[in-house]
Chain A
Amino acid sequence: MRLSAIGRTAVTAGLLLAAAACGGREDPGAGAGATTAAGGCQGQQTTGITDTGIKLGGIYPLSGPASAYGAIPKGIKAYFDYVNAEQNGIGGRKVEFVVRDDGYQPPKAVEEARRLVEQEQVFALFQTLGTPSTTATWDYAGQRKVPQVFVATGASKWGTDTRHPWTIGWQPNYVSEARVYAQYLKQERPDAKVAVLYQNDDFGKDLLGGFRKAIEGSGITVVAEQSYEVSDPSVDPQMRNLAQSGADVLLNVTTPRFGSQALAADARNTKWNPLHIVNNVAASITVLRPVGFENVQGVVSATYYKDPVDPQWENDPEMTLYRAKLKQYAPDADPSVPYHAFGWAVASSFHKTMEAAKCPTREGLRDSMRNLSGVEVGMLLPGVTMSTGPDDGFPIESMRLMRFKGERWELFGEVIDTRREFGPLTAD
């Protein structure tokens, strides 16, 4: 009866071997419930998709420090609810969208991705949010051959990497965005001295790196750079150090609260008045309003989708539809929140991509998302379209500059296609 530690281990080992010898779980790789198609799409995976339904799974930070992005799935859900109720789904298939929370923690993201793929048996992972969470899950998606569509992060590696055909980004990558600003400076201030404030993570580094590369060979120089951590209370000290550099352009690469702080610090400092470029992530009206509109006049940024509070889209058909349907299907969601519009835009992008798929299979979706040609999406700016190809893993690479005037952003200049201007983006 009495078992020593060694004895116990021996028993354990015995049990283990016995269990292993019995063969154990069936088919450990594919998991139960996997199905394949017949006919022209023979042998392709049809898990999570039937003639009447399609199941998608998304992973977002609904809790923790990045929960602001938890608003995105609300816009997506409203779109799918609208399409299900009024357009009989995507090609007759009603969309079921399962949202899981990872708290912006990679290990949680891995767990939730496995839950969605193995337990919920989703057809595809439609958006994982954040570079760390997406990096932690894309190997898995590739191994299981599950499409990871339109991930909500602008890291450039989703497009440059060649070993993960099942994962693709959506929004213009941070390097493209940096190129847009570089292009603008080359025209307006060919010998600009630039000070950069950036968030010390993949997002800030990608954008700063892209900017440095894009200004190579021009008269523009980066004269000062300061980073901050998301755990810092304030970026005021960084802004003071940048002010001492005497730069005439400030590139503000921050997330919302720090963006407001930097804009306010710039406005407070009456002795230093650089041209202030704020990156798209922090360019929302909701970031600028608390600073005071009188303090952010002339600030420059770039965008690719329609801002719901911009009056020029007031009578835009897509914006009217968005406002009406958000009110109807997500009554507690505020339509002026740009994250909701972002969700709406990405959901309708998925709609078009899925419709274009030759086979209603995972392989079909993968091929479709890598073969988009000038696809127009109502919520994107006019002239901004989605294009991908065998050597192009970036759906959106065009942006348009805007300047803040009065109480809103004013678009100016033409749509800048960074692929055409700077050539394709490569891994290094």
Chain B
Amino acid sequence: MAGFLQQVIEGLGAGAIYASLALALVLIHRFTGIVNFAQGELAMFSTYVAWQFTAAGLPFWAALPLTLAVSFAGGMLIERVVIRPVEGAPELTVVIVTVGLFIFVNAAAGWIWSFLIKDFPNPFPVGAVEAGGLTVSHSTLGVLAVVGAVMGLLYLLFRHTKVGLGMRAVAADPVSARLVGVRVGRTLALGWGLAATVGAVSGVLVAPLLFLEPNMMGGVLIYAFAAATLGGFDSPGGAVVGGLVVGVAETLAGAYVGFVGSDLKVGVPLAVILCVLLLRPQGLFGRAAVERA
């Protein structure tokens, strides 16, 4: 039993990593209505920025706010330079632009920092909490706490600020939003900036665990997609729950289902998602769009 619970805990740890990036995906989807393929790569790039600051001698806790600020500005800049020109084009055009951005950012990071693994400082102390035969590492607790905090902040932003209201209006219908005086351009740029910031938090959190190199986020992105879809693409709470469910399902299947084993375990969360979607196509926490027939 303790072994099983331990696996659940480890699954939650993995799930927290997926959830951290899923939050950024949800954020940008809420603001702009698109899926950003480059989100993971932007997070990776932000992590390199943080690494550059620490390599220059800054302590981690000074480098972090600087990185977040740079990421926010970088996200806004990308919206202005890369996304604005295709604003109003079909949704798929914008999605493909993010695919282009994905390839570009990945190659650029390799070009600038090479493909060798970089040392990245762990913000959490080494060691683990032990209780009742179970072990939870400080890293896992730390990641979970930060993910929870980010989720709470996003919830407040969406629900209780004017920006959140404007953003929902823009994502729902940009033309109407513009008519009622929402500054659509600024809202979209803000969305990209915030998503890049949340992505940076995710990258900094996972870098000590996954090790920093340009392909660090590639594997995470697919799981983050799964988490966001499972939870509903417009709910931060859903993204976190989705991430945790995916992490636990994957870990347990890899450990206990003999036929699945470690090579096919990726299929398990995917099967879970397929089932969830067939029963509840809007995801666990998403709101179904009501169509006028």
Contact = CB atoms under 8 A, between A and B. Distances in A.
A and B in direct contact, judged by CB atoms within 8 A: yes
Interface of A: 63, 65, 67-68, 70-71, 200, 226-229, 231-234, 236-238, 240-241, 244, 256-257, 260-261, 264, 268, 286-287, 289-290, 334, 337
A238 B211 contact: no
Given A237-B255, A261-B210, A232 B117 contact: no
27 contacts: A63-B103, A65-B218, A67-B115, A200-B263, A226-B262, A227-B262, A231-B218, A231-B219, A233-B210, A233-B223, A234-B219, A237-B10, A237-B250, A237-B254, A237-B265, A240-B10, A256-B116, A256-B117, A257-B210, A257-B216, A264-B211, A286-B116, A286-B117, A289-B119, A290-B119, A337-B114, A337-B116
Given A286-B117, A334-B114, 20 more contacts: A65-B215, A68-B213, A71-B114, A71-B115, A226-B262, A228-B262, A231-B222, A232-B219, A233-B18, A233-B210, A233-B223, A236-B14, A238-B262, A256-B213, A260-B211, A261-B209, A261-B210, A286-B116, A290-B118, A337-B116
B88 interface: no
Interface in B241-293: 250-251, 254-255, 261-263, 265-266
Contact of A227 (B3, B213, B215, B263): B263
Interface string B119-143: 1100000000000000001000000
Contacts of A260: 117, 211
Q: Which of A63, A232, A289 has the most CB of B within 10 A?
A: A232
Contacts of B263: 200, 227-229
Interface of B: 3, 7, 10, 13-14, 17-18, 103, 107, 110, 114-120, 137, 209-216, 218-220, 222-223, 250-251, 254-255, 261-263, 265-266
A237 B14 contact: yes
Nearest to B212: A290
A381 to B, nearest CB: 22
A82 B145 CA distance: 55
A67 B115 CA distance: 7
Contacts of A289: 119
B218 to A, nearest CB: 7
Q: Is the interface of A mostly helix, strand, loop or mixed?
A: helix
Contacts of A234: 14, 17, 209-210, 219
A257 B255 contact: no
Contacts of A231: 218-219, 222, 266
Given A290-B119, A334-B114, A237 B251 contact: yes
A256 B215 CA distance: 12
A260 B207 CA distance: 12
A233 B17 contact: yes
Given A70-B115, A244-B3, A237 B219 contact: no
A233 B220 contact: yes
Among B213, B214, B218, the one with the most A-chain Cβ atoms within 10 Å of its Cβ is: B213
Contact of A241 (B215, B219, B254): B254
Nearest to A291: B211
Contacts of B210: 233-234, 257, 261
B120 A290 contact: yes
Nearest to A333: B114
Residue among A232, A233, A236, A241 with the most chain B CB within 10 A? A233
Contacts of A68: 115-116, 213
A122 to B, nearest CB: 26
Going nearest first, the 10 A-B pairs with the smallest beta carbon separation are A68-B115, A233-B219, A260-B211, A226-B262, A290-B119, A233-B220, A286-B116, A227-B263, A290-B117, A238-B262
A234 B265 CA distance: 13
Contacts of A240: 7, 10, 255
Contacts of A264: 211
Nearest to A268: B137
B262 A63 contact: no
A214 to B, nearest CB: 24
